[in-house]
Amino acid sequence: MSEIPFAAEPRWFVRWRRTLADARWSIPAFLVGCALAGLVMGAIWFLGAHRPGYTVLEDLGATMDERGLASLFAADAFFTLLVGILGLAAGIVSWLLFRNTGWWVCLLAVLGSTIGAVVVWQFGLVLGGSGFSERLAGAGPGDVVPVDLALQAYAAILVAPFLAITPVMLFSAFWPEEGAPPTDIVATEGVAAD
């Protein structure tokens, strides 16, 4: 009896299956890493965001000057910067870890960066606390009561997935394929010499 020879599985299929087997642990680790980075960025947002205050007047009214009103959005700008950095980092790390999984790398980059941005937002709010109305009610004339940390423009959360997908698209276009021949210029034969 002779055995029927089976064709070996294509090399790309073996590599893809091995990548998915490794992904059982690397995908949760990546998502947890994005959430932990979000915690760090949330603490930085809380510590670094400028919060203007209302000045309590003699008639117990409260006012804020124009500069203070304009700086209400400084916390949003700082948040946008932080989640942009987090998104870029998530995109680069997802490409390095999951580039052999096909289109899943895009999904993981967007998912991880969105998780990180939401954690930055919520953890910053938890650290910032609330109770502005109670602090304002208990303040006396001349006191300055800072506002609570808040995100005024919720669209700033979308900066993270947008900046996460950007390096994935660039790397997929320009990253050399594994096993591809080098793209050096090869001298052609038959060139006439002088």
Coil, strand or helix: which one is 188? Answer: coil
Spatial CB neighbours of 150, under 8 Å, sequence gap ≥ 6? 75, 125, 128
C-alpha to C-alpha distance for 98 and 104, rounded to whole angstroms: 8
| Residues 19 and 100 sit within 8 Å (Cβ to Cβ) | yes
Concatenating the DSSP letter of every residue in 1-23 gives --PPPPPPPPHHHHHHHHHHHHH
Mean pLDDT by 10 residues, the chain (194 residues): 53 59 79 96 92 81 81 89 96 90 90 97 89 78 82 92 95 78 53 52
- The single residue listed with the structure tokens 């990546």 is 30
Spatial CB neighbours of 122, under 8 Å, sequence gap ≥ 6? 42
φ/ψ of 145, rounded to 5, equals -110, 110
Coil, strand or helix: which one is 87? Answer: helix
Residue 21's pLDDT is 60
